A and B are shown apart, each in its own frame.
Chain A
């Protein structure tokens, strides 16, 4: 059974960098699929941040203006998100998810979500 477990700090200061990790169990990241990050806030709704393949190939949402970096560690079967230059607008629940299907846009397994608050 595929399971995703996200982890990271719940509170970060403005201008700092957020680091989140998603540990995958029940499926080897190296086999297939893209692996993505999505966030949700009352003001912006659900917003796709970006996705990565096990080879390291990445796609990002241009709205993040190059602040996001997604990486993968196949030896640990996990992938990570770094989001820099944080502001209050980045306060959200951050989800990691598996992305399959045509266009790799079908998010079929999700982590539990990590609430991140940006505040001094």
Chain B
């Protein structure tokens, strides 16, 4: 199975800060990387698909980039509603696999 390794595992930042989360795939997945945001007690929500495409309704402060084995998610200006856990996921090769998550908190 392809391993997706996220860093950091947790992150604390202030409102208005720029934050970046990275995800490394254990093998080349081209652009087959998605990003999800999960609030406590809720289902994950798709933010970014195909590494850099913004899902409809997601704020333009969110962006994704990467190709091959290195991917990143950036929030350009952190808002209070951005708290929660972020996950990357690959769909290049079955079985689909997820990263272990990055927990984002507000300082």
Contact = CB atoms under 8 A, between A and B. Distances in A.
A28 to B, nearest CB: 20
Contact of B95 (A48, A95, A106): A48
* Chain B: interface size category: 20 to 34
A47 interface: yes
Interface stretch (B20-28, B67-75, B76-84, B85-93): B85-93
A112 interface: yes
Contacts of B91: 101-106
Given A101-B50, A105-B91, A110 B44 contact: yes
B43 A108 contact: no
B101 interface: yes
A42 to B, nearest CB: 11
Nearest to A109: B46
Nearest to A106: B49
B17 interface: no
Contacts of B45: 110
Given A45-B100, A48-B95, A61-B95, A105 B32 contact: yes
Contacts of B36: 107
A59 B43 CA distance: 22
B98 A47 contact: yes
B95 A111 contact: no
Interface of B: 1, 32, 34, 36, 43-46, 49-50, 55, 87, 89-92, 94-101
Given A48-B95, A48-B98, A111-B43, 8 more contacts: A45-B99, A63-B95, A97-B43, A101-B49, A101-B91, A102-B91, A104-B91, A105-B89
